[in-house]
A and B are shown apart, each in its own frame.
Chain A
């Protein structure tokens, strides 16, 4: 090994306790910076992956971002519905390959309930892959099988969270808040017929029922009050209703897949000009971009905070090493007496501070990856964000590079101090 490198290492090792603390502070700041950055990138990626298979999202006119958020991510709730006729019109368009109706509003112990059709299971793609069954099958078609109204399919996470199995029965809650017991659909228990494999998409967190099943739970409800609460309505609900009666009149949204993606704009225009219902068709990518515009300020301020923490850590390294220089005057004078030039001593000190920062950055990076590995599950289940440990992205590399440059700049302070001290002290450092 190079003499100066090995001397710098041995010198640093003799002061290892202080230097380890400094290294840790660098690591932590790198952790903050890279953690924020990776979360941001992964959040964006998992959001775009979740909508990657849908060409158009159709809903009542309003905010495109809102429509995408509630229909795809089940974040927030629709303020108004679209009529079922719009859905039927779209279904008949020749360019349309598939349509998936979405009905929202109920929850199951905090998880959103999605009323839809079995088309979802065959056509919906998440991260480029279709849905797969862990157990069971899709719910049946109530038009041909009356019992299918009571069938339910669970997303992987819902099933795992409650340990539900095929044939278990569930009772859904009306509305999103899981309010008083009265609003439970306990007059309408559902049977689990299928459980999906994990996809990483929000569907993992969904409870999927037939549109007709969704509707049947709400029959007899008025103004959000359960029929059970309406004491006057003593007459029992008819046990078996005709599936045709259960056709919903409203939908929250419709996902549309096209034969050819190139036709997306013409289909969008066509849908928006349907005369029966004022509809809006949204390209998921465009809506996501709008969403990123909204969160950009928060996002940027997080990055700036991370940057500032890191830069301040780098300068605290410089400060600690600068203070330590006074204690190293003898060491410098000894080396100087042996013919080491002030410039060589400057390099000698520079090696140490650069090494501290470098090791700090490497540990910080490794630390970030470990933490991501640990928090992976929690982030996926709680926030639906798929994070993946791995090699740094280009942006992370740029941050690391910038951080390292700052650290070298900061390291010049103690190095310059070593230079001037060794010139000033010569062979006679003040005895400490």
Chain B
């Protein structure tokens, strides 16, 4: 398998205990640097798929290669390290630790994984400088830097989460409905900024969303069907 693929999935299925398989993905590949939009009805296993890609849950059957690594062959610790070093994650909401200020939240990945701090330092001089640069391109004022995160609007919080996910130039960004808490006009703007910033860092993006209007901005679209086993 060429390592230039961010993702390579084949005959990947997953089922929770005593349930029929949630989904079956015959073949899905994403070249490095490209952006994938995943769409599908509720309960079709989108979040489970993201958990597999992020290495939070163990692959049951099929092939799941992420950034050239076969997730089925990695143990829990190795998958955690892969995620910590190479992958950024954005949730729908509540991405931030409320007891840290904005700056401390953004710097957390580089403090947890020295390799991320190293790559931030290599490209931008220091993690702090990268955070400022990312904030700038995501339209986040650095005047918010020292504020507690709960004083920020949801839109601002999502931008902080995006800054944090992209710190240390991870190769893959996983976003689970990052815009669903935003209003319509903000959604588009946020996606534009997120994708262009990711592009600048040559990060692949995998995003799940309910909103088909966002799809045209992505290189690939993958449609998940509900309950293949039902």
Residues of A within 8 A of B (CB): 3, 7, 10-11, 13-14, 330-331, 333-343, 426-428, 431
Given contacts A338-B83, A339-B81, A426-B51, 16 further A-B contacts (CB under 8 A): A10-B100, A331-B97, A334-B94, A337-B54, A337-B89, A339-B80, A339-B83, A339-B109, A341-B76, A341-B80, A427-B56, A427-B89, A427-B91, A427-B176, A428-B47, A431-B93
Q: Are B100 and A340 in contact (CB under 8 A)?
A: no
Ordered by A's residue number, 13 sampled pairs between the chains whose C-beta atoms are within 8 Å are A3-B112, A7-B100, A10-B99, A11-B99, A330-B94, A335-B97, A337-B54, A338-B83, A338-B108, A339-B84, A340-B112, A428-B51, A431-B93
Q: Are A431 and B94 in contact (CB under 8 A)?
A: yes
In angstroms, how far is the closest chain A Cβ from the Cβ of B107?
10
Interface status of B73 (Cβ within 8 A of chain A): no
A427 and B77 alpha carbons, distance in the complex (Å):
16
| CB neighbors of A among B1-57 (8 A) | 47, 50-51, 54, 56-57
B-side interface residues, number (CB < 8 Å)? 31
A282 and B176 alpha carbons, distance in the complex (Å):
86
A14 and B148 alpha carbons, distance in the complex (Å):
11
List residues of chain B with CB within 8 A of the CB of A11. Answer: 97, 99
Partner of A338, one of B93, B100, B109: B109
| CB neighbors of A among B68-90 (8 A) | 76-77, 80-81, 83-85, 87, 89
In angstroms, how far is the closest chain B Cβ from the Cβ of A428?
6
List residues of chain B with CB within 8 A of the CB of A13. Answer: 99
List residues of chain B with CB within 8 A of the CB of A7. Answer: 97, 100
A340 and B94 alpha carbons, distance in the complex (Å):
17
List residues of chain A with CB within 8 A of the CB of B135. Answer: none
Q: Are A3 and B111 in contact (CB under 8 A)?
A: yes
Q: Which of A330, A341, A427 is packed against the most chain B CB atoms within 10 Å?
A: A427
Q: Are B80 and A334 in contact (CB under 8 A)?
A: no
| CB neighbors of A among B108-148 (8 A) | 108-109, 111-113
List residues of chain A with CB within 8 A of the CB of B60. Answer: none
A333 and B54 alpha carbons, distance in the complex (Å):
12
List the 9 shortest-distance A-B pairs measured between CB atoms, nearest first.
Answer: A339-B84, A14-B99, A426-B56, A337-B89, A341-B80, A10-B99, A339-B83, A426-B51, A330-B94
Q: Are A340 and B91 in contact (CB under 8 A)?
A: no
Chief secondary structure at chain A's binding surface: helix
Question: Closest residue of chain B to A3, judged by CB?
Answer: B111
Interface status of B96 (Cβ within 8 A of chain A): yes
Interface status of B186 (Cβ within 8 A of chain A): no
Q: Are A334 and B56 in contact (CB under 8 A)?
A: no
A336 and B54 alpha carbons, distance in the complex (Å):
10
A340 and B55 alpha carbons, distance in the complex (Å):
12
Question: Closest residue of chain A to B98, judged by CB?
Answer: A14
List residues of chain A with CB within 8 A of the CB of B202. Answer: none
List residues of chain A with CB within 8 A of the CB of B99. Answer: 10-11, 13-14
In angstroms, how far is the closest chain B Cβ from the Cβ of A19?
13
List residues of chain A with CB within 8 A of the CB of B87. Answer: 339
Question: Closest residue of chain B to A12, judged by CB?
Answer: B99
Q: Are A427 and B50 in contact (CB under 8 A)?
A: yes
Q: Which of A10, A13, A335, A338 is packed against the most chain B CB atoms within 10 Å?
A: A338
In angstroms, how far is the closest chain A Cβ from the Cβ of B111?
5
A104 and B50 alpha carbons, distance in the complex (Å):
90
Q: Are A338 and B112 in contact (CB under 8 A)?
A: yes
Question: Closest residue of chain A to B55, judged by CB?
Answer: A339
Interface status of B156 (Cβ within 8 A of chain A): no
List residues of chain B with CB within 8 A of the CB of A334. Answer: 91, 94-97
Q: Are A339 and B112 in contact (CB under 8 A)?
A: yes
A334 and B165 alpha carbons, distance in the complex (Å):
11
Question: Closest residue of chain B to A4, judged by CB?
Answer: B112
A334 and B108 alpha carbons, distance in the complex (Å):
11
A427 and B95 alpha carbons, distance in the complex (Å):
10
Beyond A11-B99, A427-B56, is A338–B84 a contact (Cβ under 8 Å)? yes
In angstroms, how far is the closest chain B Cβ from the Cβ of A325?
16
List residues of chain A with CB within 8 A of the CB of B47. Answer: 427-428
A7 and B112 alpha carbons, distance in the complex (Å):
11
List residues of chain B with CB within 8 A of the CB of A426. Answer: 51, 54, 56-57
In angstroms, how far is the closest chain B Cβ from the Cβ of A381?
51
Question: Closest residue of chain A to B52, judged by CB?
Answer: A426
A105 and B47 alpha carbons, distance in the complex (Å):
89
